[in-house]
C-alpha cells in the first residue's frame, strides 16, 4: 500500500465521522473536563496545589475524545495508535492515589464522549463530583490527628501524659527512641481544643522542653 493510498484511506475513513458529531463530542468533553477541573480545585486539601496538573487533567479528556474518534472501529488504526503511544514515557510519577483517580475520571469522560455515549459521561461525572464535594465537607468538619515529637533529657513523662489526658480526646505512644541520655517520644493525638490553644497550653506547661507538633499532611502546627 503506497503512501498516497494510505492518505486516501485515512481521509475516506475520517470523513465518515460527521463534523457535527466531532464538535458535539469535543464540546461535551470540554464541559465535563471543566467540571473535573473545578471539583479538583475545590476539593484539593494538600499544601502545594499544582495548576499544571489540573490543566493536564482537563486536556486529557479532550485528547482522549478525539483519539477515540480517530480510532473508531478501525482495527488497523487502533493498532497503529497503540504503537505510536508506546514510545511515550511519562517521567513524572503520580504519587497521590487521589490524583490518579482524577486521571482515570478524565480518561473515562474522553472515552464516553469519543464514542458518543454522552449520557454515561454526564451522569458519571455528576455522581463522582457530588460524592467528592460531600466527602470534602465531611472531612473539613473532622479534626485532623497530629504527631507530637518530644525530645529531651529531663522530661517528666507522667506529667506529659496527664497533660495529654486533660487536653486530648485520645493519644497513643507510637515510638520511643533513646540515645546518649536523650529520649525522643512520638505521640499520635487528637485535640479537644483548637491547635492554637493546645500549643499555648503545651508551651505553658513545658516551657523548657523541645517539642514539635506535626500534622499528617506535613504541615507545621507549632513547637
- Where do you find CATH 3.30.70.2690 in the chain? 146-222
Contact predicate 146/221, CB 8 Å: yes
> Grid coordinates in use for 205?
506547661
Domain 146-222 sits in CATH at: 3.30.70.2690
Starting from the edge strand earliest in sequence, which strands make up the sheet with 220-222, in order? 168-179, 182-191, 146-152, 210-215, 220-222
Per-residue pLDDT of the chain (223 residues; tens, 9 = 90+): 566 765 565 555 555 667 888 899 999 999 999 999 999 998 887 667 788 888 989 999 998 888 888 777 565 555 556 555 555 555 556 667 888 899 999 999 998 998 888 999 999 999 999 999 888 877 654 556 788 888 766 667 778 888 888 888 788 887 777 777 677 788 888 777 777 777 788 778 877 777 777 775 543 344 4
Strand pairing class (168-179; 210-215)? unpaired
How big is the CA angle at 60 (ends 58 and 61), to the nearest 5 degrees? 75
Q: Report in angstroms the alpha-carbon separations of 37 from 24, 52, 67, 76, 139.
A: 20, 11, 21, 34, 20
> Grid coordinates in use for 106?
478524565
- Total-model pTM: 0.61
Amino acid at each position: 500500500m503506497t503512501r498516497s493510498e494510505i492518505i486516501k484511506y485515512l481521509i475516506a475513513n475520517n470523513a465518515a465521522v460527521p463534523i457535527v458529531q466531532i464538535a458535539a463530542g469535543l464540546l461535551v468533553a470540554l464541559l465535563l473536563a471543566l467540571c473535573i477541573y473545578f471539583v479538583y480545585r475545590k476539593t484539593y486539601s494538600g499544601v502545594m496545589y499544582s495548576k499544571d496538573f489540573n490543566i493536564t487533567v482537563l486536556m486529557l479528556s479532550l485528547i482522549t475524545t478525539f483519539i477515540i474518534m480517530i480510532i473508531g472501529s478501525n482495527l488497523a488504526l487502533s493498532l497503529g495508535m497503540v504503537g505510536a503511544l508506546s514510545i511515550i514515557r511519562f517521567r513524572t510519577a503520580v504519587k497521590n492515589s487521589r490524583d490518579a483517580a482524577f486521571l482515570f475520571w478524565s480518561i473515562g469522560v474522553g472515552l464516553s464522549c469519543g464514542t458518543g455515549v454522552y449520557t454515561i459521561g454526564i451522569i458519571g461525572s455528576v455522581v463522582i463530583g457530588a460524592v467528592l464535594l460531600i466527602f470534602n465537607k465531611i472531612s473539613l468538619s473532622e479534626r485532623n490527628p497530629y504527631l507530637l515529637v518530644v525530645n529531651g533529657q529531663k522530661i517528666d513523662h507522667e506529667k506529659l501524659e496527664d497533660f495529654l489526658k486533660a487536653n486530648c480526646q485520645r493519644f497513643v505512644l507510637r515510638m520511643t527512641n533513646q540515645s546518649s541520655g536523650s529520649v525522643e517520644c512520638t505521640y499520635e493525638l487528637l485535640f479537644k481544643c483548637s491547635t492554637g490553644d493546645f500549643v499555648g497550653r503545651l508551651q505553658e506547661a513545658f516551657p523548657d522542653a523541645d517539642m514539635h507538633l506535626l500534622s499528617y499532611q506535613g504541615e507545621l502546627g507549632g513547637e
